[in-house]
């Protein structure tokens, strides 16, 4: 597809799911009850505070080891997740801070309010961060998270997924999404995924197995590109109206 080289690309509001989707029970309380109001951001919100590149440590993008005891590592299938952050013209977005968090290989989060009684991995913290390179690329190492039950219906399970937070030039510029894994049978059964309006929207949130980026005898790889806006933008949970 030939992309325009300049000009405004309008948001495709039909691409995003409706706020009220009863099969996803949380939406009954979270969906707007009144007409929406627009509150433009202030200059201070758009310009600061700004994160520093020196805040990242050498293991921040290695979730296999960044919480582990010396000589130990997280338990589970090792994977590499990589991709690019792009704008609506498929141009790279460099120097963007990405934060990720996830459940462990057994499907349990390290959180005091976690209700799933799967085992905790003492060597897995479940979070990491990285900054996109000049070509918009990013990568991190982790273990593949497991699916887990959640109290939406009698027997609903979340597909295995990783949460992503993408920051702009200040902490007020933040977008949140999540990534699923190609071939997971729980994707089609998930009420949250069911809010999406087309197979293409589901595909935009599904990372593809990338055997060319695997490390033999060590880790498989998945590719997940994030498109910030435009007609084919990645669905962002906190900005359903678009970026």
Q: Which domain holds residue 146?
A: 58-227
CA atoms in the 13 A half-sphere facing the CB of 191: 18
Of 109, 138, 180, 235, the active-site residue reads 109
DSSP per residue over 132-193, as a string? --TTSEEEEEEEPPPPEEETTSTTEEEPSEEEEEEE-SSTTSEEEEEEEETT-TTGGG-TTG
What is the per-residue pLDDT across 7-52, written as a single tens digit (0 to 9) for each?
555 666 677 788 888 898 888 888 888 887 777 777 777 777 777 7
* 180 labelled catalytic: no
Q: Which of 82, 129, 141, 158 is catalytic?
A: 158
Residues 173-203 pLDDT 10s: 788 999 999 999 999 999 999 999 899 999 9
CATH code (residue 63): 2.60.130.10
Whether residue 69 lies inside any domain: the answer is: yes
**Distances, alpha carbon 134 to alpha carbons 88, 112, 137, 169, in Å:** 17, 38, 7, 15
Number of domains composing the chain: 1
pLDDT tens digits, one per residue of 113-169: 888 989 999 999 999 999 999 999 999 999 999 999 999 989 999 999 999 999 877
In whole angstroms, what is the distance from residue 51 CA to residue 99 CA? Answer: 12
Active site residue 116: no
Residue 71: inside a domain: yes
158 is catalytic: yes
Domain assignment of residue 158, yes or no: yes
Active site includes 235? no
């Amino acid at each position: 597809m030939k992309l325009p080289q300049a000009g405004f690309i309008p948001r495709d509001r039909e691409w995003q799911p409706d706020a009220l989707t009863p099969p996803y029970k949380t939406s009954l309380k979270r969906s707007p009850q009144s007409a929406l109001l627009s509150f433009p951001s202030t200059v201070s919100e758009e310009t600061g505070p700004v994160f520093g590149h020196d805040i990242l440590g050498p293991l921040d993008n290695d979730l296999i080891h960044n919480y582990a005891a010396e000589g130990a590592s997280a338990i589970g299938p090792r994977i590499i997740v990589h991709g690019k952050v792009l704008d609506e013209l498929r141009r790279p977005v460099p120097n963007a801070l990405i934060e990720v968090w996830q459940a462990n290989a057994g499907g349990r989060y390290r959180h005091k309010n976690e209700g799933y009684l799967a085992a905790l991995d003492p060597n897995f913290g479940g979070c990491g961060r990285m900054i996109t390179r000049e070509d918009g690329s990013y990568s991190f190492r982790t273990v593949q998270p497991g699916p887990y039950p959640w109290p939406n219906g009698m027997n609903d399970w979340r597909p295995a997924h990783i949460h992503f937070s993408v920051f702009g030039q200040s902490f007020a510029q933040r977008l949140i999404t999540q990534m699923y894994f190609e071939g997971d049978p729980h994707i089609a059964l998930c009420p949250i995924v069911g809010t999406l309006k087309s197979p293409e929207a589901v595909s935009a949130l599904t990372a593809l197995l990338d055997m060319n980026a695997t490390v033999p005898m060590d880790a498989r790889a998945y590719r997940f590109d994030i498109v910030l806006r435009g007609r084919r933008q990645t669905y962002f949970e906190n900005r359903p109206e678009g970026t």
